[in-house]
């Protein structure tokens, strides 16, 4: 039952990911991307990583997608007026992607040949356990991540504000 749920979620994720890159209208792309993110969150729940599933939904579906939608709406891009690449280039891109898939699958084929995903310690994905690891082993990266987010915030505000001095010149 839950095994078939895995295959259903995988199918949903791959299908909506394909629709993301083929949809003409950027707003539809964003909506399909949200669908992909929910499918991936379902995978996290299946792997018993509840903390990651919740954080994934909050960060991606809650914050990042709203940012994308606002940018598309504010720039008034919700029309399918995107100039297309030539079919020749598209075919070359798909061929390159297919070959990359071939190489990745062939290269990783021997890694875990039919080994089943056994949850050795099923509590590793819970908030309690993950918090202990995060604040003991990974305390420095955690603090550095806060500096990164601060820098990103300052950078985003700085980039998005109109530069008045350049306009005068």
Partner 1 sequence: METITQSIQLVPLNHYILLSAALFVIGVVGVITRRNAIIIFMSIELMLNAVNLLLTAFSAFRGDAAGQVFVFFIMAVAAAEVAVGLAIIVMIYRNTRSIDINVLNKLKW
Tell me how far apart the alpha carbons of residues 64 and 82 are, in angstroms, rounded to a whole number: 22
Closest separation between CB of residue 34 and partner 1, Å? 10
Closest separation between CB of residue 21 and partner 1, Å? 4
Q: Is 41 exposed, middle or buried (0-12, 13-18, 19+ CB in 10 A)?
A: buried
Q: Which of residues 96-155 bind partner 1 (CB under 8 A)?
A: 96-98, 100-101, 104-105, 108-109, 111-122, 124-125, 129-130, 133-134, 137-138, 141, 145, 148-149, 151-153, 155
CA distances from 21 to 26, 32, 33, 36, 102 (A): 9, 9, 9, 12, 20
Binding residue (CB under 8 A) for partner 1 from 45, 54, 57, 61: 45
Q: Which of residues 6-35 bind partner 1 (CB under 8 A)?
A: 6, 10, 13-14, 17-18, 20-21, 26, 29-30, 33
- Using rule CB under 8 A, residue 42 touches partner 1: no
**What 3-state DSSP class applies to 12?**
helix
Q: Which two tokens stand for residue 81?
A: 């007026």
- Using rule CB under 8 A, residue 44 touches partner 1: yes
């Amino acid at each position: 039952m839950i095994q078939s749920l895995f295959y259903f979620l995988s199918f949903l994720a791959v299908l909506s990911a394909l629709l993301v890159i083929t949809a003409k209208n950027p707003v539809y792309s964003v909506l399909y991307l949200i669908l992909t993110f929910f499918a991936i969150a379902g995978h996290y729940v299946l792997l018993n990583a509840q903390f990651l599933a919740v954080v994934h939904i909050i960060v991606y579906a809650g914050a990042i997608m709203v940012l994308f939608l606002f940018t598309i709406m504010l720039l008034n891009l919700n029309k399918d007026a995107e100039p297309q690449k030539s079919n020749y280039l598209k075919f070359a891109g798909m061929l390159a992607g297919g070959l990359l898939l071939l190489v990745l699958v062939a290269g990783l084929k021997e890694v875990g040949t039919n080994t089943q995903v056994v949850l050795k310690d099923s509590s590793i994905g819970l908030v309690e356990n993950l918090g202990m690891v995060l604040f003991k082993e990974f305390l420095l990266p955690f603090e550095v991540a806060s500096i990164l987010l601060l820098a990103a915030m300052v950078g985003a505000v700085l980039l998005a504000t109109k530069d008045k001095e350049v306009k005068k010149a």
